[in-house]
Amino acid sequence: MRIVDDYSHLGGKEIIHAHHADVEKDINQAIGAVQAHKTKVSKEKHRKGKTLFSPSEINKSFKKEFSERGFKEIKTHFDIKFRDKEGNPQTTKGYKQVDHSKDRINVEVQFGKYAFMFYDMSKFQQFFNEDKIDAAVEIVPTNWLKRSMSSGVSYGEQLVTDIKRLRRTFPAVPVWIIMVGN
């Protein structure tokens, strides 16, 4: 894959470049090492039989490449309080998880539904608020690549537009959004 475009929110790209150059290099190498091929045969009504890129296969490739470069999954655990149907207080365990983390930089690869891109932003915000990261990276398909995938896949240009429309209020964490294509 290759980087087609990017967006630096609150200086995310610049922070990574200035203070985490080795991580930036690893991110660029991981992206460059991912080879995407059209392997998924569509069952969708308007695309039946057309060969598309498989988001799950691309994610597997990214996971392998980041793992080989020393990125690890991280989780933060917390309690969730609620009331059962009788109104009694209860507690269960919850967590937030990021797939790839290294040297205080969180990276998510998102080739899923649009809501998951914003969910990634909320996870980045939580880790940033807990002083566990300095910045984050969201790797997403371009609109062009999205058109060669299953319907419902989100794309980077949409995420960037929405973040800009929020006028720096969310996420309040430095994020480098990287839009990739084949």
Q: Is residue 17 part of a domain?
A: yes
Q: Is residue 91 part of a domain?
A: no
Q: Is residue 36 part of a domain?
A: yes
pLDDT band for 36, please (50, 70, 90 cuts): confident
Q: Is residue 94 part of a domain?
A: no
Neighbours of 85 (CB within 10 A): 5
For 128, the domain range is 2-71+99-181
pLDDT band for 151, please (50, 70, 90 cuts): low
Q: Is residue 92 part of a domain?
A: no
Q: Is residue 139 part of a domain?
A: yes
Overall average pLDDT of the 25-37 stretch: 95
Which residues neighbour 45 within 8 Å (Cβ) at sequence distance 6 or greater? none
Compute the distance between CA of residue 50 and CA of residue 165 in angstroms, rounded to an integer. Answer: 35
- The 10s digit of each residue's pLDDT in 93-138 is 999 999 999 999 999 999 988 889 999 999 999 999 999 999 999 9
Compute the distance between CA of residue 169 and CA of residue 163 in angstroms, rounded to an integer. Answer: 8
How many domains does one find in the chain? 1
Percent of the chain with pLDDT over 70: 99
- The 10s digit of each residue's pLDDT in 73-99 is 999 999 999 999 999 999 999 999 999
What's this model's pTM, rounded to 2 decimal places? 0.91
CATH number for the domain harbouring residue 113? 3.40.91.20
